[in-house]
Structure 1
């Protein structure tokens, strides 16, 4: 951990660093009760990092603001919020301790605080109070929901309230596929926040997640456009990345690649500045950015660019690209003997290389560590052994799971796209009609994917149907140096 005095030097250095791209620099602002302009700037930096999910750097900035102005109660609120806002990592053992400490510090500096600040601090105190984690999330969400209903004129209150509600909710769609009341409340809060402050980074960020989960990705295109339009100081890579979530859903692969390449460049600039809490935290997201770059490039057939994009990255990322490109000897040569996801990838590569015994050994190693994709792996092993019906049954189960429980996020299985694998298995087994149905369904989820378009054309051709539209779409979107074959898919 950095000493408390170090963040000031880091912040000065960042201010002089060039932005990863041209355009107006993104910023966040929440006016707080301080006469120290530097403390306000530090608070705003912390807020921007909150909204960019760099919780480590948010804590650094809020702590520096509190050092400048110890009576700035909102700086302690910010430190507590930093350990809960990230919907992907809302709780850690260390964070629970930090959050309780920040709340206690905030309560000790309330002498000059307004009723609004007191209410916000008491709300976040519920997050670190008594009860189970789920109960504490619910208490915090209820407190923020009540507060935001009475403060509809503050975009940051509305945004933070929406994040609090998200972490308390397990389900956002009801059995009919409609938004739950709480999902509707979040959307209302975020929409209102953007009316008040059209450039609110946190509102755009969470609105993308929410509309993606509600299967309304097209409605979040304005949010993606907004996050795409800014330049970002190092440490805020997750914001340009978020636009890629929507480009993936609407079939804008070039934009997905461009925004996530910007995110990767931002990461690298950030890591070059040191290895403080902010850099350590964003290492959690670096591979996520690379996933989207590699997903987009390999989808379009820009395979050499995909290899180059991960050439200096860790072995596992290189494995994933190699697996996507069916370079099985290369996959098997990386990190031999490892378990978990590495063994899973080795098992797939062995099975598809004709090494049944090696595949069994690697599959056993993967399962020993509880690797989750058992049914897909079983299907691939059965397929390699010529057990066609067993393979199709298992791949269908994996596909159904991917569409429902996993939600179909492209990065979840981009190196082994489950729907594409199932459709290819059907087509290879002479079941062209169901293969056509799966390819068509996948294109509804991932429009403009040339690999799926080629597969759809082949499935229609095998049935004597007109394949001209699917073939033309493939040719319009494919950027590979040679045409696809059935062996390239899956």
Structure 2
């Protein structure tokens, strides 16, 4: 039994010794440090005069003068302020090149487990920093274990894929946390590693639940640790778990107001729970902080974190029916020509903001001619995001009965799917494959092949139910099950449509189109009481004052053999007139 208990410790001691003894011991020269090309300069911060990032304590075997800076770098890491964290760790190395854990900090600053995989320059930098750390004299076994754990991610990065290396990091952090149970940071990073290694196809959320349980215990003891609060939000950023993270979401921004990402991150949970006003407030603050950061940094254009917040902000405005403000965000994004750094988040916002606006409003002619963002953006590097634009144009072409254009967009989606398969990006390839299935389903409906269309659309909804959204995004451009419900309404199967809308709402609460669609489907099914419930519920979060949001005309689809939907005449069917008892007096509606 004792052997079992101490096996992780022995493993890490051996791993640490191997780490420390593989190469000649020497303190890196100034030239070697310069060749790392570390980020440097004044640390930037927007928010309170005295930076507030939460509280951590992580003693390291470096000079006492560098301990406070190391803790600062760690707090920045925990709030995903990676550029600023790297600056802090770089400053430590220039003052003390034999501070082993500062090299660990550089490697972690270039790893960013829950974002898009590191670029080649980032991987080279992280690996080079660890190479220099190996050359140092042996230090504490605990620090060797930390270096070995992140080294497990960087090992063979040229030939081994990112998900496999994330699982390596998870396994190494599990052993580290077991070997040092009193080390809170080891436990926190293990929880982060669990979430980073979780498969989007695992809808049991086994790793996320395990991470959440670990972090919840830590949160009860110390709600001021930025990593504990932040990673709780990520662990529970799923439909069935989001409510568990609501206390952390409502705390994080106040805990770390000096981080633009901390100001934004609560909106992940607010979006999952359909708390649109809280999401809007969070992202308005986050976007302002990101704009401040870009100004302080002297960026030529905008910071990528700003576009990330704008993506979520637009989505929340659309769910409240506030087209005027949603359109403002789109127009603003249109004018953004320079962003630093250019990455996954930027490409996603450029594609998603306009696509969401026209699709949520069912503006099919506009969807059919939607153009990609102007300027010199390298779209060829982002096939998944490009696919969103083609998917939008595909739906627009189908709904305007432009069959040749629809076939052109299907071919474009097919090419992008093949590109993602060639790149071995399984997750994104599956996403585009599902867009192909949905587009084909609606094309079959246009061709009068109703049963085949419903089979394909049901298959797409089932596939999406078994695949989690990417952690960077607010959600799918349009939920597949909501699109299935729209199709069922179009072919006059309101009872089945109601079931589909309600299923979609369990995963996407308070989505305007699903709530409205559920009310309309209930009314057409003759369940006026349930229709009234949904219409009244819509008024609790969607009040489109000063903007138009047509909700009737788009549902009058002209499929072969179709007829106008009941109640969508000149008056239309929409929200109950405030003060009326909709379930008692059907027909007193106004268009929304």
Cα distance, 1:430 vs structure 2 = 0.9
Match of 1:245 in 2: 268
Matched, 1:121 2:147: yes
Correspondence 1:29-428 to 2 at 5 A:
29-31=56-58, 32-35=60-63, 37=65, 39-110=66-137, 113-129=139-155, 132-133=160-161, 136-170=165-199, 177=204, 180=206, 183=208, 185-213=210-238, 215-230=240-255, 232-233=257-258, 236-274=259-297, 283=304, 286-314=306-334, 316=351, 317-331=353-367, 332=369, 334-335=371-372, 340-370=387-417, 371-372=432-433, 373-407=435-469, 411-414=474-477, 416-428=478-490
Aligned counterparts of 1:60 and 1:92: Cα–Cα separation in 2: 18
| Change in CA separation of 1:49 and 1:381 when aligned onto 2, cut-off 3 Å | farther
User: What count of residue pairs does the alignment treat as equivalent?
Assistant: 472
* Cα-to-partner distance string for 1:241-273 (whole Å, 9 max, x where unaligned): 221121122221111122122222222222233
| Change in CA separation of 1:40 and 1:353 when aligned onto 2, cut-off 3 Å | farther
| Change in CA separation of 1:126 and 1:237 when aligned onto 2, cut-off 3 Å | same
Cα distance, 1:426 vs structure 2 = 0.7
Aligned counterparts of 2:74 and 2:436: Cα–Cα separation in 1: 41
8 Å CA contact retained: 2:36, 2:125: no
Q: TM-score, normalised by structure 2?
A: 0.71
Aligned counterparts of 1:306 and 1:478: Cα–Cα separation in 2: 13
Of residues 455-464 and 351-360 in structure 1, the stretch that sits farther from structure 2 once superposed is: 351-360
8 Å CA contact retained: 1:137, 1:167: yes
Aligned counterparts of 2:238 and 2:514: Cα–Cα separation in 1: 23
1:369 counterpart SS class: helix
Aligned counterparts of 2:99 and 2:543: Cα–Cα separation in 1: 55
Cα distance, 1:306 vs structure 2 = 0.3
Cα distance, 1:298 vs structure 2 = 0.6
- Structure 1: 5+ residue stretches without partners: none
Of residues 476-485 and 358-367 in structure 1, the stretch that sits farther from structure 2 once superposed is: 476-485
- Structure 2: 5+ residue stretches without partners: 1-33, 335-349, 380-385, 418-431, 558-592
Cα distance, 1:346 vs structure 2 = 2.1
8 Å CA contact retained: 1:110, 1:118: no
Cα distance, 1:487 vs structure 2 = 4.2
| Change in CA separation of 1:386 and 1:238 when aligned onto 2, cut-off 3 Å | farther
Aligned counterparts of 1:361 and 1:132: Cα–Cα separation in 2: 36
Q: TM-score, normalised by structure 1?
A: 0.84
Aligned counterparts of 2:84 and 2:67: Cα–Cα separation in 1: 16
Aligned counterparts of 2:36 and 2:125: Cα–Cα separation in 1: 15
Aligned counterparts of 2:481 and 2:470: Cα–Cα separation in 1: 9
| Change in CA separation of 1:132 and 1:367 when aligned onto 2, cut-off 3 Å | closer
Aligned counterparts of 1:322 and 1:287: Cα–Cα separation in 2: 19
Cα distance, 1:428 vs structure 2 = 1.9
Match of 1:441 in 2: 503
Cα distance, 1:33 vs structure 2 = 3.7
Cα distance, 1:95 vs structure 2 = 3.2
8 Å CA contact retained: 2:355, 2:388: no
Aligned counterparts of 1:335 and 1:167: Cα–Cα separation in 2: 31
* Cα-to-partner distance string for 1:132-191 (whole Å, 9 max, x where unaligned): 4566544433332122123333332211122233344547958xx4x64x5554334323
Aligned counterparts of 2:37 and 2:169: Cα–Cα separation in 1: 32
| Change in CA separation of 1:347 and 1:382 when aligned onto 2, cut-off 3 Å | same
The structure with the larger Rg is 2
| Change in CA separation of 1:93 and 1:352 when aligned onto 2, cut-off 3 Å | same
2:229 counterpart SS class: helix
| Change in CA separation of 1:65 and 1:192 when aligned onto 2, cut-off 3 Å | farther
| Change in CA separation of 1:386 and 1:271 when aligned onto 2, cut-off 3 Å | farther
Matched, 1:10 2:73: no
Match of 2:491 in 1: 429
8 Å CA contact retained: 1:356, 1:385: no
Aligned counterparts of 1:232 and 1:292: Cα–Cα separation in 2: 19
Cα distance, 1:43 vs structure 2 = 2.7
Cα distance, 1:56 vs structure 2 = 3.6
* Cα-to-partner distance string for 1:376-418 (whole Å, 9 max, x where unaligned): 111232334444333322222221122112459873323x332
Correspondence for 2:535 among 471, 476, 487 = 471
Aligned counterparts of 2:169 and 2:81: Cα–Cα separation in 1: 21
